[in-house]
Amino acid sequence: MMDEAAARAEILEAGRRLKDRFFVAANDGNISARLSDGKILITPTGVNKGDMSAEMLLTVDGEGRVLSGELKPTSEMKMHLSVYRQRPDVQAIVHAHPPTATGFATSRIRLDQDVILPEVVFGLGRIGFSEYGTPTTQAVPEAVSREIADCDALLLANHGAMTVGASVMQAYYRMETLEMYARIRLVTMQLGGPAALSEPEVQELFQVREQRGWGGAPALEIDPRAVELVSQIVLQVLQAQGAGLSR
Phi/psi of residue 239, each to 5°?
-65, -40
Phi-psi region of 72 (alpha: psi -120 to 50; beta: other; left: phi over 0): beta
Measured distance CA(120)–CA(163) in Å, rounded:
13
Confirm whether 76 is a catalytic residue: yes
From the list 10, 76, 147, 179, the catalytic residue is 76
**What amino acid positions are annotated as catalytic residues?**
76
